[in-house]
Structure 1
Amino acid sequence: MKSITEIFKGLELTDSEYAFIKERCQKVALKKGEVLLKKGQPTLSQYYVLEGCLRSFFEDAQERDHTLQFAIHDWWISDYTAFFDGNPAVLTIESIQKTIVLEFTRKAQIEIFESIPKVESFFREKMEHSFGAFQKRIINDLSKTAKEKYLDFLQTHKEIETHIKNYHIASFLGITTESLSRIRREIAKD
């Protein structure tokens, strides 16, 4: 039950409401490098990260990875466009560390929302926050230098930066690994 209460911290739920939610989710353990969702698959679930780290990415026509998101403890991840509109995934989600997530299917989520309306409000607020964070990231990508983006990345992802491969970080920042190395050298000199 602790993992469920962790998700809904700040929301007052009864023991029976927690039990109802717990019955509608599944714990999934992933090894490092294991794929949780593959491009082209139906996207039926979203995931809450209990421990570990995941990344979502897409491949362009030249088969280059572009990392969209890292998800660590207490973060949510899915291919949300596909999750909400029912289309196949355009993103792939893989674990970059040993990871444990709670899986919530769309069907289970709707059952929870219908039975416990305050959970729907809770999720709406989470989605609003996530939308704002993605918008902020897009603005930063359009307006900041590579060095500024990297410094922002360190601020947001300081606990995982040393566990992520350089090319994943570079992919997230939209730069080459060589540029990332140059930026790190510049920062080390400062």
Structure 2
Amino acid sequence: MDQNNSILSEIFKGISFPNNEIDLIESKLETINLKKGDTLLRADETVLYQYYVYKGCIRTYYIDKYGKEHTLQFAINDWWISDYTAFFSTEKAIMHIEVLQDAELYRISKKDMEILFTETTQLETFFRKKMEKAFASFQKRILSNLAASAKERYVSFRTTYPNIEQNVKNYHIASYLGITTESLSRIRKELTQD
């Protein structure tokens, strides 16, 4: 198969695969379509896959012992998402994954990823670089939550997720920022007056 006519050219931008690898990789990716409101994963489930978001909007969140939701990540077009703590270990999921907009996803199991890593080193390098960027991003987010004001965190959110606000609920954004919806409204008002 020609890679230019394959989803692989979008998922793995910048990598050119030989035809035999294209067929192998495509055989390991499974397409799934989900509707807004669907649950992709619940806490305490076994995590078998990580997902590439081709279309749509997904979020991961954690529910604390008081029942409060804490949004960890949004995944929009061209992002990967999973409960990585569980995906890379034998632990059960601690996150929930919810579909916020109708979505078309490609999923791959850890077992199939390992097979592909032995067959093509390009994929191992691709995923290693993705994980390095994700780790650095999460570290920056932790530092931001510790040291930045709520207004600064909101401005950073808008940079990271441009054009997402009209597609997610205010309480999801507030949960991601670690603030109340009232604080989010106040910050938005302040920014429009600046």
Scaled to the shorter chain, the TM-score interval is: over 0.9
1:82–1:88: 8 Å Cα contact kept in structure 2? yes
Residue of structure 2 in register with 1:40 after alignment: 44
Partner of residue 103 from structure 1, selected from 102, 107, 125: 107
State which of 138, 141, 146 in structure 1 corresponds to 2:142. 138
Cα separation, 2, equivalents of 1:29 and 1:144: 37
- Structure 2 distance, partners of 1:23, 1:99, is 21
In the other structure, the counterpart of 1:51 is 55
Alpha-carbon deviation of 1:2?
A: 2.9
1:188 and 2:192 aligned: yes
Partner amino acid, structure 2, of 1:168: H
Equivalent residue for 1:172?
176
Secondary structure, aligned partner of 1:85: coil
- Please, what TM-score do these two structures have when normalized by structure 1? 0.97
For 1:28, which of 26, 29, 32 is the aligned residue? 32
Q: State the number of aligned residues.
A: 190
Q: Report the AA paired with residue 34 of structure 2.
A: L
1:98-123 C-alpha deviation (Å, 9 max, x unpaired): 01110000111011111112211111
Question: Counterpart amino acid of 2:169?
Answer: K
CA distance in 2, matches of 1:74, 1:149: 23
Q: Secondary structure at the match of 1:49?
A: strand
Identity over aligned pairs, percent: 47
Match of 1:156 in 2: 160
- State whether structure 2 residue 65 is matched by structure 1 residue 61: yes
Distance in 1 (CA, whole Å) between partners of 2:13 and 2:183 is 40
Q: Does 1:89 align with 2:89?
A: no
User: 1-side partners of 2:147 and 2:10: how far apart?
Assistant: 36
Deviations 1:57-114 (A, max 9, x none): 0000110100000000111000001000121100000110001110000111011111
- Structure 2 Cα separation of the partners of residues 14 and 40 of structure 1: 39
Deviations 1:10-64 (A, max 9, x none): 1121122111101011001110010011111000110000000000000001101
Per the TM alignment, residue 4 of structure 1 is displaced from its structure 2 partner at its CA by 1.9
Q: Which amino acid aligns with 2:104?
A: I
For residues 113-140 of structure 1, give each alpha carbon's deviation from its aligned partner in whole angstroms, at most 9, with x where no partner exists: 1111221111101110110111111111
**Contact 1:40–1:90 (Cα < 8 Å) also in 2:** yes
Aligned residues of 1:43 and 1:79 also touching (Cα < 8 A): yes
Matched, 1:147 2:136: no
Alpha-carbon RMSD across the aligned residues, in angstroms, is 0.9
Indicate whether 1:119 and 2:123 are aligned.
yes
In structure 2, the gaps of 5 or more residues are: none
Contact 1:3–1:50 at 8 Å: present in 2 too? Answer: no
